[in-house]
A and B are shown apart, each in its own frame.
Chain A
Amino acid sequence: MNHQPFEDWLLEDEPRTVQQERELQIHLHSCTTCAAIADSNLALHSRRLVAPAPGFTERFRPRLSAWRREQLRRQALGTIVLVVAGLAFLYALAGPSMQEAIRSPAAWLRDITVYLVALFTFLSVFGQVGGILLRNLPGLVPPAAWFAIFVAGCILGILWIVTMRRLAGAPQGV
C-alpha cells in the first residue's frame, strides 16, 4: 500500500480497525514522515492545561474596579458636557426673546399670543385639507394601483423580516 492512506488515517480522528492499526504500525517503521505525524499526534493528545500563577482573581479585581471607576468618570463627564451644551443651545435659542420679555413683557405676551393663534390656524387648515384629500383620494387612484402598493408593501415587509432574522442569527461575539 502506498503512503497516502496512512497519512490520511493519522490526520483524521476517526477510529481505526485492528487490521488498519496493524498495517499502520508496519508502515510507521519505514516512513519517517508518518512517524513524525504519529509522534506529533501523541504530543497533542498528551496535552496539559497551563494554569495562571496563584492569585489571578485577586489581580483581576483591581483591574475591574479601575475600569468601573473609569466608566463612571466618563458617564459623569458625558452628562456634564451634555447638560452644559444643552443649556448653551437653549440660551442661544431663547436668549434674545428672554431679554425682550424682560424689557417689555406686554409686547412679548402679545407676540406669543399671535404666534400661537397662527400655529393653531395653520394646524386646523392643514387638518381640513388632509381630510378632504383622504375622502377623495380612493376615488382618484385606480384599484390596480392600490393593489400594486399593497404588494410592494408586502414584499418590503418580508424583506425586512428576512434581513432582521439573518442579522439576529449572526454569530455573537465581542
Chain B
Amino acid sequence: MKDESSLVVQAQHGSEAAFTQLVEAYQTHVYNLCYRMLGEAESAEDASQETFLRAFQHLHRYDHVRPFATWLLSIAAHYCIDRLRRRRFSFVSMDQGDDGDGLELPDPDAPRPEVEALRHEQREQMQGLLLHLSSVDRAAVVLRYWHDCSEAEIADTLHLTVSAVKSRLHRARRELGRLWHEEGMRNNAGRRRHESPAF
C-alpha cells in the first residue's frame, strides 16, 4: 500500500481507487470491531460496509493529526452502538457465533492443537459474554483487547474522558469475570447431570 496519508489526500479529492486501497488495508480491523460489537457475521459485514461509506462521505472532516485507523474505528463503533440501541428490545441469540462468513485469522505462533482448540473454545465463550455488556463498555473492551488501543485512544474514539474509559474497562472486566464464573458453574452442573451416577 502507498503512503497512507497520501492515499487519504487522494481519496479526499474524490479518488475511489485510493479509497479502495484504504478499504483493503482496514477491512479486517473495521469488520472485527463490528463483528465483536454485533455478534453476527451478516450484520458485521453490513455495518463495516456502511462504516466505509460514511467515512468516504465525511472524508473532508477527517483531521490529519489524528490516526486514520482511530477515525475509522470511531465511525464503526458509533454506528454499531446506534444499531444496538435501535435493536435493544429485540432478542439477540447467544448462540450466534462464528456460523457466519467471518474468517478467524490464523495465528502464526499457534501452539499444540489441543491447546489451540481450548483457546478457540474460550474465544467463543468470550464472544458470547461480550454481548452481555452495554454497547459502550463492549466497544471499549474490543478496542482495548482486540485493537490494542490505549485508554487515550479509546477515549478519543468513543468521545469519553480517559477516567471514564478506565472505569468502564474495570467494570466490564469484572462483569466478564462474573459471567465467566456463572457460565463455568452452569457447564459443570450440565456435565454432572449427564454423567452416569455409577461413576
Residues of A with Cβ closer than 8 Å to B? Answer: 7, 10-12, 32-33, 35-37, 39-54, 56-57, 59-61, 63-65, 67-68, 171-174
**Residue ID in chain B nearest A7 by CB atoms:** B174
Chain A binding surface SS class: helix
Distance, CA A43 to CA B173, complexed state (A): 11
Q: Which residues of A contact B62 (CB under 8 A)?
A: 172
Chain B binding surface SS class: helix
Q: How far is the CB of A38 from chain B (nearest CB, A)?
A: 8
Residues of B with Cβ closer than 8 Å to A? Answer: 16, 19-20, 23-24, 27-29, 31-32, 35-36, 41, 44-45, 48-49, 52-58, 61-63, 66, 71, 74-75, 78, 98, 101-105, 107, 119, 122-123, 125-126, 129, 141, 145-146, 156, 159, 170, 173-174, 176-181, 184
User: Do residues B55 and A52 form an inter-chain contact, with CB atoms below 8 A?
Assistant: no
User: Do residues A56 and B63 form an inter-chain contact, with CB atoms below 8 A?
Assistant: no
A-B residue pair count with CB separations less than 8 angstroms: 149
List of 5 A-B pairs having minimum Cβ-Cβ separation, nearest first? A37-B177, A36-B181, A53-B101, A40-B180, A43-B122
Distance, CA A68 to CA B177, complexed state (A): 47
**Residue ID in chain A nearest B125 by CB atoms:** A43
User: Do residues B156 and A43 form an inter-chain contact, with CB atoms below 8 A?
Assistant: no
Given contacts A43-B125, A50-B32, A52-B101, contact A60 B176 (CB under 8 A): no
Q: How far is the CB of B30 from chain A (nearest CB, A)?
A: 9
User: Do residues B102 and A50 form an inter-chain contact, with CB atoms below 8 A?
Assistant: yes
Interface centre among A47, A49, A50 (most CB of B within 10 A): A50
